[in-house]
């Protein structure tokens, strides 16, 4: 492989929908030491249009050809989850570092297979895109926890709210696509695996699409019996809100408050209270030009792109730095992708049965020899 210490890392971005296009923009505009040389999307015209705007960039129709291309050193997968397994295996085969947006794969068995294949290679090549670990507030919280400021962590309360989700979103996706972030945050902050999951479904939001169980309350217990609860509500009609409170032996901390707001409401409520006015006119810029969707007296961001924009920049910059340094990964890896898939599988069973479900995971040391 090319020595990347003194040259730009050549990146292929596969999948240039909302997330992939956002990564292309950040690499092109803000990330140091990397260039996008190849883009790919199953909507060929979208990839071609994007490639035409970036000097030296080509669109390649087949994702596996894009991975194998000699002008590509590393790969970002922002493709749909069901395609990840094959694409990750191709990256491992080619020995190319890969940043894979969640889910790593769509089930625990295939995720485990990926972990095994990477372990057989004896080289870490896979990073999984759990961006919250790179958010300044989560990082600071993690550092305070590691510095023992709160003593032993006992409990966490999490809130994860989205203004809306696409029509294809079903109740299981609330677990696999949204609550999965709290799964990773829990494992990151508590530094242990989740042992059981329960999902409570209170009466659904009458404005949620028919049949969508929203909100959902998830309860995790860790292997040592610590408690985490999550309110996940993806059709609030308000804005993007992610908050975490941790409680320890000596104190507690709360992040994601948008500076301590109290009242959360739609920015431009309509007479019928649906907020359709604000949605149809789209998020409004505030005085400094940042897009906002809700108000409390300050502004609340409309989506994860704005809320975690800084975290994505840090994530990708640190990943590129790790690639150039030859370590390839600086953040959550294949094991974290597998653990998240295993907890989500238990979560979906918990949603279907109403029971407390044990997470079924193999022993890490049996694979990684850790
Ligand atoms: C989406 O895929 C994300 O990853 C967002 O961070 C999350 O808030 C949202 O619920 C998911 O659908």
**Ligand 1: does its nearest atom lie under 6 Å from the Cβ of 24?**
no
Q: Is 234 in the pocket of ligand 1 (CB under 6 A)?
A: yes
Q: Minimum mean pLDDT among 109-118, 280-289, 292-301: which range? A: 280-289
CB of 301 closer than 6 A to ligand 1?
no
In tens, the pLDDT along 113-160 reads: 999 999 999 999 999 999 999 999 999 899 999 999 899 999 999 999
Domain boundaries, the chain: 9-132+309-332, 137-270+333-370
Closest residue by Cα to atom 2, ligand 1, is 177
Query: Using an 8 Å Cβ cutoff, are 9 and 324 in contact?
Result: yes
State if residue 162 touches ligand 1 by the CB under 6 angstroms criterion: yes
**pLDDT tens digits along 20-62:** 999 999 999 999 999 999 999 999 999 999 999 999 999 999 9
pLDDT band at 1 (very low <50, low <70, confident <90, very high): low
Classify domain 9-132+309-332 at the CATH class level.
Answer: alpha beta
d(CA 292, CA 47): 28
Share of the chain above pLDDT 90, in %: 81
Tell the residue nearest (CA) to atom 8 of ligand 1: 178
Architecture of domain 137-270+333-370: 2-Layer Sandwich (3.30)
Binned at pLDDT 50, 70 and 90, residue 262 comes out as very low
Mean pLDDT of all residues in the chain?
91
Residues 6+ apart with CB under 8 A from 108: 338, 341, 342, 345, 360, 361
Tokens for 95, please give them.
């020995």
Which pair of structure tokens corresponds to residue 79? Answer: 């493709």
**Omega before 26 cis (within 30°)?**
no
Cis bond leading into 103, ω under 30°?
yes
Query: pTM to 2 decimals?
Result: 0.91
* Helix (H/G/I), strand (E/B), else coil: 248: strand
Query: Is 9-132+309-332's fold the same as 137-270+333-370's?
Result: no
* pLDDT tens, residue by residue, 301-333: 889 999 999 999 999 999 999 999 999 999 999
Nearest to 258 by CA among 294, 289, 300: 300
Q: Rounded to the nearest whole angstrom, what is the distance from the C-alpha of residue 8 to the centroid of ligand 1? A: 30
Hey, what are 89's tokens?
A: 């295996």
């Amino acid at each position: 492989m090319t020595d990347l210490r003194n040259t730009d890392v050549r990146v292929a971005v596969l999948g240039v929908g909302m997330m992939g296009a956002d990564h292309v923009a950040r690499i092109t505009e803000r990330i140091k030491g990397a260039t996008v040389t190849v883009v790919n999307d199953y909507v060929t015209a979208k990839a071609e249009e994007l490639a035409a705007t970036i000097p030296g960039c080509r669109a390649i129709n087949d994702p596996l050809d894009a991975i194998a291309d000699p002008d590509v050193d590393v790969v970002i997968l922002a493709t749909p989850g069901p395609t990840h397994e094959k694409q990750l295996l191709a990256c491992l085969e080619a020995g190319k570092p890969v940043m894979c947006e969640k889910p790593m794969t769509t089930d625990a068995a295939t995720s485990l297979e990926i972990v095994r294949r990477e372990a057989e290679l004896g080289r870490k090549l896979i990073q999984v895109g759990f961006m919250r670990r790179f958010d300044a507030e989560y990082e600071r919280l993690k550092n305070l926890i590691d510095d023992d400021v709160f003593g032993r962590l006992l409990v966490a309360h999490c809130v994860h709210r989205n203004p809306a989700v696409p029509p294809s979103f079903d109740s299981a996706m609330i677990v696999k696509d949204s609550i999965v972030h709290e799964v990773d945050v829990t494992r990151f902050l508590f530094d242990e695996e989740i042992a059981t999951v329960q999902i409570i479904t209170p009466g659904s939001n009458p404005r949620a699409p028919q049949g969508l169980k929203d909100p959902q309350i998830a309860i995790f217990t860790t292997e040592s019996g610590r408690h985490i609860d999550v309110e996940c509500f993806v059709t609030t009609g308000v804005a993007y809100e992610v908050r975490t409170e941790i409680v320890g032996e000596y104190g507690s901390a709360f992040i994601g408050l948008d500076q301590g707001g109290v009242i959360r409401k739609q920015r431009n409520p309509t007479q019928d209270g649906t907020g359709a006015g604000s949605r149809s006119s789209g998020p409004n810029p505030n005085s400094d030009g940042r897009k906002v969707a809700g108000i409390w007296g300050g502004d609340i961001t409309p989506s994860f792109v704005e809320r975690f924009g800084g975290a994505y920049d840090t994530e990708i910059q640190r990943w590129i730095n790790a690639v150039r340094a030859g370590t390839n990964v600086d953040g959550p890896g294949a094991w974290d992708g597998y653990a998240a898939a295993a907890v989500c599988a238990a979560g979906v069973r918990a949603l279907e049965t109403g029971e407390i479900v044990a997470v079924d995971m193999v022993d890490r040391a049996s694979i990684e020899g850790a």
